Structure 1
Amino acid sequence: MTTVGERLVEGLAVRGVDVIFGIPGVHTIGLYRGLASGRLRHVTPRHEQGAGFMADGYARVTGRPGVAFVITGPGLTNTLTAMAQARADSVPMLVISGVNRRTSLGRGLGLLHELPDQAAMVRALCQTETLTDPAELGPALDRAFAAMLGARPGPAHIEIPTDVMDLPCPSLPDPAPVAAPPTTALQALEEVARLLSTATRPLILAGGGTRFAGAELRALAEALDAPVVLTANARGLLHGHALSVPASPSLEAVRELIRGADAVLALGTELGPTDYDMYVNGQLPDLSGMIRVDICADQLDRHPARLTIRADAGAFAAALHLAVSPRKTDGAARADTARQTARAELARLHPAMPDQLLMVEAVRSALPDAVIVGDSTQPVYAGNLFYDHDRPRGWFNAATGYGALGYGPGAAVGAAVALPGVPVVCLIGDGGLQFSPGELRTARDEGLPVTFLVWNNAGFREIAEAMEQAQTPVIGCTPSPLDMRAFAAACGLPFTQVAQNPEALRGALIAPCDGPRLIEVQAR
């Protein structure tokens, strides 16, 4: 007899899944039965939120869904924060949970891990379904993968009652193909090509929807000679390119570049405030004349535009490149002015930001082609405003969108699992580290080359400064930091402490290390 749990693992493997992030419990033993075959690697986090963040980090660097197994009730509620972060940043994540036996659902019997309606709780975030018939397992997986990959990526959820997990399950049908993203009508493509080919100061705004389309974006930008403003989730796509503007549209220098454009093409960006109006001053230039391309129809309805086109950003950029008339304008000069002015602007925003940026650049210098996974901490905020990373999909963090503190350690583990041998840096503050300290031990268990770089300013300094600016008494912003040396030892990690100095940090980073390690920066 082959059970539902065993068929589930088969169905995931044939759909390209190679790792499960999860914590087993009495309500998921039936799911774990399938893992005994060894077809999928299992990674054990220390908290279900960490499992979700690991699935997120894995998905961000691969483009394939990260998968988490969690228990009924608290296991799923613990994972909801990670699912919300994935939804905000369009990350494909499949969470498979248990739920109590079929006859108990909705009856309020007081069973272990019981919720009034577990699926209803998840439905506010993403597609969810309850598998009550083993014959529906294959179609349920098809629907989940279609939801995650068929349009705007995001999380999906399947819950399996405990009395269904061990039922006999027939062989699964072949996976249904995921529907191709919508394509643009020829007439719309021709109109866009005409508008951009006749513009003298074209500009591209590139968001997370382009993160797997670096070659297409580069070719189009070069044909149009158009500067490309890269939001935080698109950084690394055009490292060192003359047309690249790796700076936030929240900066006045970038806004001036937008104002000077006579044609703006927005590719795969939701125009969210954490990228476009971080300081909530409402001074973003009028973009109602833009040409907007997005895979999500709902997104296209949220902002006025001259033309809205529902399409995959990369596929559209590739087709548009073939349709435009190449030219040379002053694109490189406009981009250079914006870059220089944007960087200089950091000091006016906060006197410490230039030094914080130098520390981020020291990481890039010491560990070229590394993945930097950020948490909500001051150097990450500085980097989101201005930073040019050297690897596509190598700079991402939770300081945009949903903004979940404690994201970094789990997401860094997920990225390292997905990219064997690639150095991964988790850049996190001392406050954020205390949200998810256990995931450092997961990195130790798995022997992953993750550097946990802790920016220790002994509290929530960013929040304290915001309270001061708001003329509010600073309360609750000085939680005592961990003794980092002792904590590293408890986790079995090599430890180095450095002052806030780029050369000192670089020296610590280039020191050889076979597995995970912890480096503490004593922030000024």
Structure 2
Amino acid sequence: MHRPLGAQISHMLRGRGVEVIFGIPGVHNIELYRGIEEAGIRHVLARHEQGAGFMADGYARATGRPGVAYVITGPGLTNILTPLGQAFSDSVPVLAISSCLDETAGRRGQLHQMRDQEGAAATVCDWSHTARDARAIYALIDRAFAEFAAARPRPKHVQVPIGALGTLAEPAPPPSPDPSTPEAPDLAAAVSMISAARRPLFLFGGGAKGGFRAARTLLARRQAASFTTYAGRGIVAPDDPLAFGSFLARPDSAGVFARADLVVAVGTEIAEVDLWRPSPGHSCKLIRVDIDPEQFAGADLPILGDAAKVLRALAEALPEGRSDWTPAEVAAARARFRAETDAERPGIVPMAEALRAALPEDVTVYSDMTQFAYVAKEVWDMPAPGLWHHPFGFGTLGYALPAAIGGKIGRPENPVIAVAGDYGFQYTIQELGTAVELGLPLPILLWDNGKLKEIEESMQRAQIAPNAVIARNPDFLALARAYGARAERPASLSGLCDAVLRALRADGPTLIHMTPDLAG
């Protein structure tokens, strides 16, 4: 059946399993909206394209399926570049489809005109291409979905000229079989090295979350110690006596790596934002397992493959053994790391631990760049991976609220909360309108210390007189109620926990205002 190309795109996406599209219609992309309802796709109206991008990101992280966003030419695309940059940094499968002007070389002064729209998106995406006809857009969409499934998932951008969107086109071809990631390679060398080590130390990143059960089996069989990155939390069981947790960024964790005689890094970049130092601190051999060969610099044994498959193969092949790590030394290190965290940002650890104890075990958390999250990411152990999402690498403010909306839409049966700071929350506060409109039972924990405290403290450490770190805040409770949301300001830790539990049962979002004096 011939339809305008814009409508055929929606039908194609539905045929590839897309159930939700996030976006904002505009005069230049209305043809994309012609087929959404007919295709049976739900559209979520964001209040800003940045919000739409973060919603698509949050949806993808919650479901494991690509998040899709429709945006217009020019400012619509530039507004979504920040979320696309975040998705690139954190390996999140997001597909942005935009319109573009039909011709820009010989004409100037057109609405939403940019010098190089395709190139702008290419700076933050895995790739960005212009599809000038149906055949090209169908091929690029299928390429994007194939790469999401079989390679490191990163955002893609496709743009279609406005005129092409309205032309009649044949339907997209049927979907191809899903590509599969390579089977686990020959692991004999890795098995030999791990079996011979007396102090093997595993480091798990977010890329290993699909193999977390195998990882736990492997650690138990070999009695190996472990760290996780923030993105890898939940891969290792919280009660594992040889788990150092997510304290990787503690400076003294380098001393732990120095005592290892083999490090095995699985599904992690070992990036600056994981360590905040040049290297983990090891002087022993390093095995790296990753689907991205770019990560193999410095590895003594690189293993290219899907982390889950490699972990399952290792768990089956490794014989049982003992190591020289002891629960006592791990417990002592964890206690020291926790004390350091509490001393650096006083009062947050008790709040985080109270919330962790009160909330359902399967709660999913979306956090922003805020001191509350910086502390919680270290002390809040997760029972399974994929339950805490944060703008790790790119470090964007305004992530938590729209991403949590996307996550709740993707997994409506799961409890979801957002954690934001008073400053970052205002980057995307308008998405409260979307949460209210959809009736989402979403607690929004707002950490309000009345300033950009992390920046203030950084200035003080650099012996710079704090400047531009205090801004006038609105009455957050009144503002939330103006949007139609609930709002509470608890007076105690028990009141905080009660407020969050009530909010999880509500028929709309609830802003919960937290201040540093709440811990007493």
**Normalised-by-shorter TM-score class:** over 0.9
How far 1:166 sits from its partner (Å)? Answer: 1.7
Within a 5 Å distance, the mapping from 1:189-204 to structure 2 comes to 189-204=187-202
Match of 1:439 in 2: 431
Within a 5 Å distance, the mapping from 1:290-439 to structure 2 comes to 290-300=286-296, 303-331=297-325, 333=327, 334-348=329-343, 350-352=344-346, 355-368=347-360, 369-398=362-391, 400-439=392-431
Sort the Cα spacing of 1:287 and 1:65 in 2 relative to 1 into closer, same or farther, 3 A: farther
Q: Which amino acid aligns with 1:168?
A: L
Count of residue correspondences: 510
Sort the Cα spacing of 1:331 and 1:41 in 2 relative to 1 into closer, same or farther, 3 A: farther
Runs of 4+ in 1 over 6 A off after TM superposition: none
Structure 2 gap ranges (5+): none
CA RMSD of aligned residues (A): 1.8
1:508 aligns with 2:504: no
Farther-moved stretch of structure 1 (118-127 vs 51-60):
118-127
Match of 2:64 in 1: 63
Preserved CA contact (<8 Å) 1:134 1:169: yes
Q: Which amino acid aligns with 1:200?
A: R
Distance 2:370 2:21 in 1: 29
Preserved CA contact (<8 Å) 1:364 1:390: no
Sort the Cα spacing of 1:283 and 1:295 in 2 relative to 1 into closer, same or farther, 3 A: closer
Match of 2:456 in 1: 464
How far 1:360 sits from its partner (Å)? Answer: 2.0
Distance 2:330 2:433 in 1: 43
Q: Which amino acid aligns with 1:7?
A: Q
| CA-to-aligned-CA distance 1:396-454 (integer Å, 9 cap, x gap) | 212x2110011111111011001113221110011011111111111111111211110
Q: Which amino acid aligns with 1:270?
A: E
Preserved CA contact (<8 Å) 2:130 2:160: yes
Q: Which amino acid aligns with 1:503?
A: S
Match of 1:225 in 2: 223
Within a 5 Å distance, the mapping from 1:444-455 to structure 2 comes to 444-455=436-447
Give the TM-score normalised by the residue count of structure 1: 0.93
Preserved CA contact (<8 Å) 1:247 1:342: no
Structure 1 gap ranges (5+): none
Match of 1:120 in 2: 119
Question: Which of 191, 215, 233 is the aligned partner of 2:213?
Answer: 215
Q: Which amino acid aligns with 2:335?
A: Q
Sort the Cα spacing of 1:408 and 1:351 in 2 relative to 1 into closer, same or farther, 3 A: closer
Report the secondary structure of 2:366's partner residue.
Answer: strand
Q: Which amino acid aligns with 2:171?
A: S
Within a 5 Å distance, the mapping from 1:255-294 to structure 2 comes to 255-277=254-276, 280=277, 282=278, 284-286=280-282, 289-294=285-290
Distance 1:156 1:374 in 2: 24
Q: Which amino acid aligns with 2:22?
A: F
Preserved CA contact (<8 Å) 1:182 1:295: no
Q: Which amino acid aligns with 1:232?
A: Y
Distance 2:17 2:239 in 1: 34
Preserved CA contact (<8 Å) 2:191 2:318: yes
Q: Which amino acid aligns with 1:128?
A: S
Give the TM-score normalised by the residue count of structure 2: 0.94
| CA-to-aligned-CA distance 1:240-282 (integer Å, 9 cap, x gap) | 23143322322144323222211111000000111112xx4x4
How far 1:118 sits from its partner (Å)? Answer: 0.8
How far 1:176 sits from its partner (Å)? Answer: 2.8
Match of 2:175 in 1: 175
